[in-house]
Amino acid sequence: MKKSVKVLGGLAAAGLLLAGCGASGVTPAAPSVEARSDAATPAAVTTDGDPGVAAAQELVAQVTAAREEFTPPGPGLGDLSGLTGKTVYFVPANYSIPLFRIIGDSLATALETAGVDVQVCDGQASPASMAGCLAEAVDAGADAVVSGSVPEELASVAFQAVRDADIPLLYMLLAPVGPGAPEKVGYLTPDTTTLQSWNANWVMADSDGEADVLVVRVTDTPATTMWTGQGAIAVFEEACEGCTVTVVETNTGQLHKLPGLVHDALVRHPDIDYVQVPFDVVVQPTVQGLQSAGRTDVRISSLDGTLAVMQMLGEDQVVASEVGTNLDALGWYGADQVLRMMSGKPSVQNLEFPYRRLFTAENVGELALTPEAEAAGSWYGGTDYHDGFKELWGVS
């Protein structure tokens, strides 16, 4: 049995991770160096036990396909005329991050169809600012609050104040389900653990189950550590008998040190032929590490679906697989959750967000890799969810 896992080292923690889809902004603790990663139950392992290369290939075939048909996430909402003039507060962890702006714009566009206004209050990557925004929403008598990647523990008192004020609250980009009555508390996420597992399955399929993988784990928060631990490392451990995995740890506050870690890993383990990173913000320092080691034969798998990395994939520049999320659609699905709670109906629990896709050399050529296409979400298939939601909400 060839499979092994090696952890080479970590970096002192600093800063907030607010760069990737589903990234949460908790001040990180210093990462520890493990002798071996924990083998938690992996996400998206295609069968019980070792799925084998054929099963990994089957999963890849499924998740590389475009979504062409809109399926309503729940029943119709009926008459929403009573919501006209109401206000929803959107509190993103850091509005300077492009993904939050795309989600915020889409959320506002969607809610506008029901006559609902959106007020943005920027969390500014600061727990104090995030708590202040939640307090402002309560003081302003907001009719609902949408938290963009702000975890409960960062502003627990402020979140409790929102709930005590009986204001519907939607947690986005954190978890698919959690505590609270569905009529008052909702959840929506593309599920970063599952998305990382798609890349791991692609590596398994592409290598015929014989990959030598360098996994970059970002240790900013318990969540980011878990996403890679369960979504990548555990998948390789549990489902790829012939794979060898080496892990390096970093955080978004010290990405300038990552090229050295990557270089050293490649020197120590020259058989490495894949690098899996958790977010697109990690791609460029990883490329620098490959270049300094003189390696042009290593393929990178990443996650976020940002235009720059998608263009690297399209131009066959080191990136070989990329998982992305339709952020425009995520904003509309968030609006649906909010409208359900504002109209006294339960939010949808454990919603499996459908507009996600794995991109490879086989399907990237069919895409328009432009800012307009990125914002419109056309990479993920038909955009009929706009009309679908309007019909579901009874608006035009």
Helix (H), strand (E) counts: the chain: 14, 12
| Token reading at 6 | 């090696």
Domain at 4-66+192-325, CATH from 3.40.50.2300, 3.30.720.200, 3.90.550.10, 3.40.50.2000:
3.40.50.2300
Give 69-82 pLDDT, tens digit per residue. Answer: 899 999 999 999 99
What are the residue ranges of CATH 3.40.50.2300 in the chain? 4-66+192-325, 81-188+326-355+382-393
> What integer pLDDT is reported at residue 23 of this predicted model?
38
Give 188-211 pLDDT, tens digit per residue. Answer: 999 999 999 999 999 999 999 999
Give 235-270 pLDDT, tens digit per residue. Answer: 999 999 999 999 999 988 899 999 999 999 999 999
| Token reading at 125 | 């990557």
Q: How far is it, in rounded angstroms, from Cα 81 to Cα 64?
A: 40
Residues contacting residue 213 through CB under 8 Å, at least 6 positions apart: 203, 236, 243, 244, 245, 246, 272, 273, 274, 275, 276
For strands 319-325 and 356-360, give the pairing: antiparallel
Q: Name residues of the chain where pLDDT drops below 50.
A: 1, 9-50
> What integer pLDDT is reported at residue 4 of this predicted model?
57
* Contact yes or no for 86/143 (Cβ under 8 A): yes
Tally of CA atoms within 13 A in the half-sphere of 125 that contains its CB:
15
> What integer pLDDT is reported at residue 140 of this predicted model?
98
81-188+326-355+382-393 maps to CATH 3.40.50.2300: yes
pTM: 0.84
> What integer pLDDT is reported at residue 51 of this predicted model?
54
